[in-house]
Amino acid sequence: MPNTTVSTRYSAAAQLFHWIIAALIVVQFSLAWSADDLPLGSRKLALLAWHKSFGMTILMLAVLRLLWRLRHTPPPLPADMSKLERALARSTHAALYALIFIMPLTGWLMSSAKNYSVSWFGLFTWPNLVGRNERAFELLRDTHDALSICLLSIAILHLLAALKHHFWNHDDVLVRMLPWTRSVKRS
Amino acid sequence: MDPLGEAVMRRARILRARGRAALSVTALTVAAALSVGAAFTGAGGDARAADAAPVHYAMVAAQSHLEFIGTQAGAPFTGVFHSFTANIDFAPDALAGSKFDVSITLASVDSGDKERDDTIRGTDVFDVAHYPTAHYVTHAITRTASGYSASGSLTLHGVTREVPVQFTFASAASGTKLVGSAQLKRLDFGVGQGDWKSTDAVKNEVKVAFTLVLSPAH
């Protein structure tokens, strides 16, 4: 009996990775937007120090999550989804996986290029990936900014899709990623 | 030859050999004594000369380097000063007369970010409009286990404080190098006013490190 539920729901580990990273991404946006308009000052530095520490946390979790994902098959998509919907779901998930690597990496690179090294909660400092380079910094900052809009759009699409599955299709696509719930077996 | 005669001759050879050995030992002893005496005389002469004359050096600006390492938001950051001058009077055996005199043009600060450099030059940090230079001059230099230690005073942001400097000195055919560092607390000098008085974002402790390439200037 328990074995059949494992295949239709996400495992506890998958849920943990998903929700911790999701929560950290929300924190990242609020920190970045709060710091954006501030002049260089202690408050901006403090906000960006948190942003960098959480960003590197996301990167480390992304590595673990990808390794974990490569050894575990996720539950299948509902059988009634069209080819287009499946392709859209797969590419959305792939893009989100890519972005949880690329966002921290471009952030780390832009910090390096501006000689603002990345500390992890003041416990240790990550090495600078590139030397000081103003032009590289500007390019990386613009990339980081543009990708953050991509991430925001895809995350909203992902959220709306989950809600659509739950309230429109009445399937368990949303619920199977929610802890402390039970998926209702259909079909 | 009779056996008695042979014995006498042998004895005589032994005595002559001993005599030569004794002469040699005496000669060696005298030579050693003379050279030790010469060494003492020489050392005395050196000390007298050194007391009078440390070497006066000018800094080779293009090869010399002065940097500071601060801690910002938990991570160290390094900045350099492009413009500074150093007048160094130094000889390892003439420490009493040795002296550093260093002037730093604070506006030449470069931390790899224009916004941060402008902030550092601004009124809340160095305030270069009012205090354009920092000045360091030594009072005394002493030998340590690994090199030398200088006591001296740093004038920065209108405040003068004692700042010890640790350094090594190496004179080779390729050039003379003075490499050293110092630790200071920026708030001792009032560097960091207003928002920057807090040590949460930028730590109080700042390390200064330098490599001076010197050329004799007399």
Convert the pLDDT of each residue in B59-83 to its tens digit: 999 999 999 999 998 899 999 999 9
pLDDT tens per residue across all 218 residues of chain B: 566 666 666 666 665 665 555 556 555 555 555 555 444 444 444 444 445 689 999 999 999 999 999 999 889 999 999 999 999 999 999 999 999 999 999 999 999 888 899 999 999 999 999 999 999 999 999 999 999 999 999 999 999 999 999 999 998 877 899 999 999 999 999 999 988 998 888 999 999 999 999 998 86
Contacts of A76 by beta carbon, 8 Å cutoff, 6+ apart: A7, A8
How many whole angstroms separate alpha carbon A112 and alpha carbon A128?
5
Q: Which distant-in-sequence residues (6+ apart) come within 8 Å of A97 by Cβ?
A: A62, A65, A66, A69
Q: Which two tokens stand for residue B78?
A: 């390094």
Fold of the domain spanning B54-216: Lipocalin (2.40.128)
Q: The dihedral of CA A126, A32, A89, A169: what is its sign?
A: positive
Question: Which SS3 state, helix, strand or coil, does residue A52 take?
Answer: helix
- Of the candidates A168, A172, A169, A174, the residue with the CA atom closest to the CA atom of residue A185: A172
Q: Hey, of B72, B196, B204, which one would you mutate to test binding to chain A, going by the most A CBs within 10 A of its CB?
A: B72
Which residues in chain A show pLDDT less than 50? 1-6, 187
Chain B closest-CA separation from residue A115 CA (Å)? 6
Pairing of β B75-81 and β B65-72: antiparallel
> What are the boundaries of each domain within chain B?
1-52, 54-216
Inter-chain residue contact B76 with A41, CB threshold 8 Å: no
Write out chain A residues lying below 8 Å of B111, CB-based. Answer: 115
Phi-psi domain of B160 (left: phi exceeds 0; alpha: psi -120 through 50; beta: other): beta
Distance from CA of A75 to the nearest CA of B (A): 42
**Which helix (DSSP H) or strand (DSSP E) does residue A100 occupy?**
helix A83-113
Helices (H) and strands (E) in chain A, counts: 5, 2
Query: How close A130 comes to chain B (CA, Å)?
Result: 12
Nearest residue to B71 (alpha-carbon basis) of B191, B189, B201, B188: B201
Contacts of A45 in chain B (CB under 8 A): 72-73, 201-202
Which residues in B37-59 are b (16+ Cβ under 10 Å) and which e? eeeeeeeeeeeeebeeebbebeb
Q: For residues A25 and A148, is the Cβ–Cβ distance under 8 A?
A: no
Q: What is the spatial distance between Cα B86 and Cα B135, in angstroms, rounded to a whole number? A: 10
Radius of gyration of chain B (CA): 30
Q: Which two tokens stand for residue B112?
A: 């790899």
Q: Which two tokens stand for residue A98?
A: 């890519």
Query: Is B123 an 8 Å CB contact of chain A?
Result: no
Sign of the CA dihedral with B15 first, then B17, B20, and B21 last? negative
Contact assignment for A115 to B201 by CB distance below 8 Å: no
